[in-house]
Amino acid sequence: MKKIRKILSLCLIIIMFTNTVVFGEININDNIKGALLGDLETGEIIYEYNINEQLALASITKLMTYTIMMDAVTSGEISLDDDVVISGHAAATEGSNFGILSGETVKLSLLVKGMLIVSGNDCATAIAEHVGKTEDNFVNMMNSKASELGLLSASFVNPHGLPINDEETGQNHMSISDIYKLVRHILKAYPQLLEITKLPELVVTERNFSKVATNPVLGVVEGVDGLKTGYTDKAGLCLVTTLPVTGSGEEFRVITIVMGAQTNEERVEKTKELLEYGRNNFNMQKLVDVSKMIDQVYIPSSREGKIDVYPAVNFNKLVNNDDIVSTKISYNESVKAPLSKGDKIGTISFYVNDEEIGQVDATVNKNIEKANIFVRIIRFFTDLLG
């Protein structure tokens, strides 16, 4: 059998027309401690500044508190419909609060809203005590979860982020890159979080409570549906946001993190610039789909002759609107029937602006039977005669 050597180049020139302003590049590094813009699905970081330094976390902490609580809900240990009896310790928690009182009973689901929408430190403490039995035990759970998720920079001393004192040991800490990992984990594991964090205010009629959400970009940047604010003297003004992006290509979701802004105006403007840069300059391309044939290859020893080729897995890539994407298939030097469904017969390589960015296996998506002797003889002479 002749060696099968074939390279298929599929060039996809991506052009997106938009009526919005498109930024060639951005620089928001002044007067902040760090920033990041990234994609939820692929984990690709589009923009970064000082993302590996361990920083004071402030109320961004509450994202980990929510994660621990939802783990317990998912395992059946607790329910969001639980009635939580508020301790004197929880009610006395200082800083931003929801106004819960010692001895009263509050639904866990309401405490979650109070923690995420208006950043209630008292709610975070009450949740911690309900899940972990004691706040100290819950903090141990937070640090264990951080280790489980590979958040090597994370260090927690309480469930809300308010400093215990002015010393470094009295602060919760995490790097921006690890905050990004945590946010990606939460949004994949518990996307229902967004149904809470998208709310512009918390109104509880029976408590005579009404307060605007702490997130300052809700309603300012169209589509924003989360995620969490934070502030202490040590941490500065912090904000984690997210929004879905639709339009050209596949839908995707951007995540932004701004830590240590000096004023709320700067925090909002820098977050807004990151979000708009991601939305206006990038799109998600599904380069191959496991359900769609990508090529046909001739295998003389097979009964069918021409065989359909499929990718082993999907491959998505977030690309700049000006990027040129190409796909190349390199087949194994010797491919013979019979073949079983899923057998690898080559490699699909992906390039952005001629730089390789990934590979997946090229496979057959059904069993390929061997041709009988008569068919192979005919094909041999046909190939021989050209």
Look up 306 and say whether it is catalytic.
no
Separation CA 278–CA 223 (nearest Å) = 13
Per DSSP bridges, beta strands 45-49 and 55-56 are: unpaired
Catalytic position from the list 87, 96, 119, 153: 119
Using DSSP, state whether 188 is helix, strand or coil: helix
Q: Are 323 and 14 within 8 A, CB to CB?
A: yes
How far apart are alpha carbons 39 and 28 in whole angstroms? 18
Tokens describing residue 353 = 């602006």
Q: Cβ atoms within 10 A of the Cβ of 355, count?
A: 8
Q: Are 209 and 98 in contact (CB under 8 A)?
A: yes
3-state secondary structure of 264: helix
Q: Is-catalytic flag, 119?
A: yes
One-letter amino acid at 126 equals: A
Give CA–CA dist 245/267, Å, rounded: 21
In the annotation, is 62 catalytic? yes
The Cα–Cα gap between 269 and 180 comes to 20
Q: Are 72 and 131 in contact (CB under 8 A)?
A: yes
> 157, 135, 58: which is closest to 90 by C-alpha?
135
Instruction: Identify the three-state secondary structure at position 220.
Output: coil
Set 62, 198, 272, 317: catalytic member: 62
Instruction: Tell me how far apart the alpha carbons of residues 51 and 128 are, in angstroms, rounded to a whole number.
Output: 28
The DSSP element (H or E) to which 378 belongs, if any, is: helix 373-385
> Do 90 and 138 meet the contact criterion of CB atoms below 8 Å apart?
no
Phi, psi (degrees; rounded to nearest 5) at 247 = 135, -130
Q: What are the tokens at 79? A: 């329910």
Greatest alpha-carbon pair distance for the chain in Å reads 93
Q: Which one from 33, 59, 96, 270 is the annotated catalytic residue?
A: 59
Catalytic residue set: 59, 62, 119
